[in-house]
Chains A and B, each alone.
Chain A
Amino acid sequence: MKKVIMGNHALSYGAMLARVQVISAYPITPQTQVVELLSEMCASKVLDAQFIKVESEHSAMAALIGASLAGARTFTATSAQGLALMHELLHWASGARLPIVMGNINRAMAPGWSIWSDQNDSLSQRDTGWMQFYCANNQEVLDSVIQAFKVAERFYIPAMIILDAFSLSHTYEVVDIPDQALVDTYLPPFQPAFRLTPDDPHAFGGLTSPDHYFELRYKLQKAMEKVPEAVEETGREYEKLFGRYLGTVDGYCLDDADIILVTSGTAGSTARVAVDNLRKKGKAIGNLRIRLFRPFPFKIVRQLLRRAKKVAVVDRNISYGHHGIFYQEIKSALYGFSSIPVFGFIAGLGGRDITPETFEEIVDYTLSHETVDSEIIWIGVKK
């Protein structure tokens, strides 16, 4: 069934189809309509789930940690400052190996207060042990929730589904709502290998001495390393049932591209308009959109970028005192494998529009420079 829905509601429908059992959320700004629709679904019994209202995002994640440990499929959503408040609990969720799935709307961090898009909120949580999926359209948002549960529950790693504020979250698009029975065959009920139950009592998350802590972290990393392949595998399985492939990256016009624009989120769709325009002018440009950011899909990124003559990474984020965060990641993936110049651009912070003209400016710069002489090339700063 096709529906015209906003990105926030694509998350809600994804959670509904995944038959989540416990939802916990804090309802005030920076929250969005994701949990509003879910609460309505719970109230009208369209969705058979417990909706727990809490007093902060910190508590929202804490409630889900308990519910997930008890064996429930769990979901929440947040944004910006709310995600930051959850930070401590994000470590608790991944450290306890709980496959919680959460939607995060990429909003710029305050101050100044902002409800517009940039990626510093989710990228600040890069090292918490959560998987991160960056989406480019509302269909992908819905599909990603279902796929994320499948991957999360296989490896016991929580996952974040990330979408740009406004350009996805509040933008209405046609979304195919998959058939529930088909989703059920793709995503069977969550049956954890360990859980909190009086029938087989265990204490969880207790004091762990240096004799064992190290190995627990090693095991989390080893599980993370298997994720990129599993995303591709579950993505192909998804394609068989629903006709849409969900991979770790999404390439466009890469085969003969001299310059590859590396993007994430909705900037990817805009980049493609620019690629088409530039190709009409005879410039061989391609676009690689990173969908899975954590764990980072090193192998495929290396394979795809090595063919190009130059790479231009576009970041809607910044690591202060360093540079764009995707730029760091791409350089680190290519290090030792390729010596092609990689340029790093920062654009669109705090919801400033990223337009096809932005990409044309980026391509002009990249074409006219042979070596990287600046760690950050700022695009669109009023000077």
Chain B
Amino acid sequence: MKEKRRKAQKIIFNSEKEMPIAPMSLGSMTFNLTGAWRNIRPVIDLDNCLQCGICWKFCPDTAILIENEYPVIDYDYCKGCGLCAEECPAKCITMEEEIR
């Protein structure tokens, strides 16, 4: 699935004639990798994870997936809001500075 995703590209039309009449995306928003907005990234210490699923439930961007019963961050879409780190009862999610 992930391999099929294209990166969103900035498209600038040269003529109004090429544009749709309504403000709309040209395709599915799954191509729009909003993870690029992130300044801080959540990192999960799985050794202390309780597998409670609270981070998964609270993530406003559905950017936390459960794989093999443990949470995994989808960095393509995680905007780094930090809600998961705030809500984690085991405090095993830390927000680290994004280094590009």
Contact = CB atoms under 8 A, between A and B. Distances in A.
A251 interface: no
A223 B23 contact: no
B22 A156 contact: yes
A204 B29 CA distance: 10
A213 B24 CA distance: 11
Contacts of A206: 23-25
A215 interface: yes
A269 B45 CA distance: 79
A203 B21 contact: no
A93 to B, nearest CB: 11
Interface class of chain A by DSSP: loop
A202 B12 contact: no
A95 B21 contact: no
Interface string A186-213: 0000000010000001111110100111
A219 B23 contact: no
A171 B28 CA distance: 51
B23 A216 contact: yes
Contact of A208 (B12, B21, B23): B23
A218 interface: yes
Contact of A219 (B19, B24, B26, B27): B19
Contacts of B27: 201-202
A194 B23 CA distance: 11
A218 B16 contact: yes
A219 B23 CA distance: 11
Contacts, number: 55
A47 interface: no
A220 B22 CA distance: 9
A97 interface: yes
A174 B19 CA distance: 47
Contact of A216 (B19, B25, B26): B19
Contacts of A215: 13, 16, 19
A194 B22 CA distance: 9
Given A212-B13, A215-B13, A201 B20 contact: no
Nearest to B13: A212
The residue in B13, B21, B27 that gathers the most chain A C-beta atoms within 10 A of its C-beta is B21
Contacts of B13: 211-212, 215
Given A211-B12, A215-B13, A205 B19 contact: no
A123 interface: no
Contacts of B25: 202-204, 206
B22 A97 contact: yes
A202 B19 CA distance: 14
Interface of A: 95-97, 156, 194, 201-206, 208, 211-213, 215-216, 218-220, 223
21 contacts: A95-B23, A96-B23, A97-B22, A156-B21, A156-B22, A201-B28, A201-B29, A202-B26, A203-B29, A204-B24, A205-B22, A205-B24, A212-B19, A215-B13, A215-B19, A216-B21, A216-B22, A216-B23, A218-B16, A219-B21, A220-B21
Interface of B: 12-13, 16, 19-30, 32
Given A202-B28, A204-B25, A208-B23, 10 more contacts: A97-B21, A156-B21, A194-B22, A204-B22, A204-B23, A215-B13, A216-B22, A218-B16, A219-B19, A223-B21
CB-based closest 4 A-B pairs: A215-B16, A201-B28, A203-B25, A97-B22
